[in-house]
Amino acid sequence: MSRTRIRDLPGAAEQEVVLKGWLYNRRSSKKMHFLQLRDGSGIVQCIVTRDDVGEDDFAQIGQIPYESAIELKGTAHADDRAPGGVEVHTSAVAVISAAEDYPIAKQDHGPDFLLRHRHLWLRSRKQVALMHIRDEVIRAIRDSMHELGFTCIDAPIFTPNSCEGTSTLFEVDYFDDEKAFLTQSGQLYMEAAAMALGDVYCLGPTFRAEKSKTRRHLTEFWMFEPEMAFADLDDVMDLAEQMLTRIVSRVLEHRQDDLEVLERDIEKLRNVTAPFPRISYSEAVDRMNAQGHSFEWGGDLGAPDESIISSWFDSPVMVHGYPEEVKAFYMKRDPDDPRIACGVDVLAPEGYGEIIGGGQREDDLDVLLARIQQHQLSEEDFRWYLDLRRYGSAPHGGFGLGVERTVCWIAGIEHVRECIPFPRMLYRIYP
Ligand code: 4AD
Ligand code: MG
């Protein structure tokens, strides 16, 4: 008899089934055990009665340690009161591998303990729900990009130069005396690819040697980076808005159960509809000052400032036109005001802060060269990048969406560390 996945049990009502999974929990009375079996696709309650399995087996089943791998035979019954609408009346249980004393108990553990046991913590209900949501977000991105005619172009991980400033680079020994850096962003390569294929994107790991211990920072995180040829800042904002609404509606459509496990307030996600408010940096600064939150024009927005700005709206807000000094060397300057960069940050609602950063790129060879010199970057390393402005330079732009920050917000989680399977953070690289 072939094995049934727990998620498929509703379609197997009143049939005999074989399940394989792990013992998640058990409640017992004199004559009955209520086993919670999990197999990754779901959790189901399995009822074992002394009358059905006999005295000896009943006693033995009562002793199976939690997280043991087991095979269970029984009959699926539709029951409205059961979680998931099905329960299994058990005829036999075989232990495939008995677990040792499981270190993660049902009561609360501190974050340090859980992070050191991440390889086991992943099995818990909430973490499984989060991984489902992460998977859905990534699939929504890939499917949407395909529908919109973008080509996936994978960016390299080893790079000879920096993209987002030299202070957060991870340096690695390459061959002989050469040094390489782990990529901070695939953007520069996407710019080259956009000149070859038009509309492109990458989705992969990126690295930042950031000595920040905040709930938003990882040293290794995944970024989705679309790039479009013949596009300006407005086109970039249109795409950001479209992608975020597509992602959120996909999760609402397919991952309602997981959002429920996480006790996410779904109404808040229903507010994520286009158009998103667009506000310039200067307008945001004026409005903050008018509210008594003093902020000097010219500085970068910190997390508390972002929280104030996002509190004005129910949906994500796009803040555009930052002072050029706070933005990267490649940003195009506003033709009407050279103090301003044609960049945009998208701030998530509910205080989650920046989830997207992007904008229009400088497409003028001389201006770009001057900025590379001004930022004391090596002209030699950027020769290939400058070539893009030599051979058919075209206005272009794109953005980077942080996958974990986006999952964190959609799932309503406190810290990005739970939104990636195996988080890498300052001083934490185990397991
Ligand atoms: O704003 P950032 O630094 O932009 C870039 O890297 C551009 N080159 C992207 C582009 O235009 N193609 O990073 C983009 C996003 C941020 O908005 C944030 O969501 C995420 O990446 N991010 C981080 N997520 C987790 N941990 C960190 N340390 C992050 N740094 C950035
Ligand atoms: Mg940014």
Expressed in angstroms and rounded, the spacing between residue 328 Cα and the centre of ligand 2 is 9
Q: Are 186 and 206 in contact (CB under 8 A)?
A: yes
**pLDDT above 80 for 395:** yes
Residue 107 lies in a domain: no
pLDDT tens, residue by residue, 111-163: 999 999 999 999 999 999 999 999 999 999 999 999 999 999 999 999 998 88
pLDDT of residue 401: 99
**pLDDT above 90 for 166:** no
Expressed in angstroms and rounded, the spacing between residue 401 Cα and the centre of ligand 1 is 6
172 lies in the same domain as 292: yes
Q: Name the domain boundary from 97, 130, 165.
A: 97
Q: Are 52 and 91 in contact (CB under 8 A)?
A: yes
CATH assignment of the domain containing 304: 3.30.930.10
pLDDT of residue 283: 98
CA 38, distance to chain mean position in Å, is: 24
43 lies in the same domain as 170: no
pTM confidence score: 0.97
Residue 224 lies in a domain: yes
78 lies in the same domain as 148: no
**pLDDT above 90 for 84:** no
CA 171, distance to chain mean position in Å, is: 25
Give yes or no for residue 399 CB within 6 A of ligand 1. yes
39 lies in the same domain as 159: no
Enter the tokens of residue 59.
């006693």
Q: Name the domain boundary from 38, 62, 97.
A: 97
| E strand or H helix at 305 | helix 303-311
**pLDDT above 90 for 388:** yes
Distance between CA atoms of residues 309 and 327, nearest Å: 19
Residue span of the structural domain in which 75 resides: 6-97
The total number of structural domains in the chain stands at 2
181 lies in the same domain as 251: yes
77 lies in the same domain as 164: no
What is the DSSP code (8-state) at residue 196? H
Q: Name the domain boundary from 48, 68, 97.
A: 97
Enter the tokens of residue 27.
């409640």
Give yes or no for residue 220 CB within 6 A of ligand 1. no
Give yes or no for residue 217 CB within 6 A of ligand 1. yes
53 lies in the same domain as 199: no
* Cβ neighbours for 229, distance < 8 A, ≥ 6 positions apart: 194, 195, 198, 199, 394, 396
Q: Are 359 and 329 in contact (CB under 8 A)?
A: no
Neighbours of 426 (CB within 10 A): 14
49 lies in the same domain as 193: no
**Protein residue with its CA nearest to atom 7 in ligand 1:** 400
Q: Are 385 and 334 in contact (CB under 8 A)?
A: no
195 lies in the same domain as 126: yes
Residue 346 lies in a domain: yes
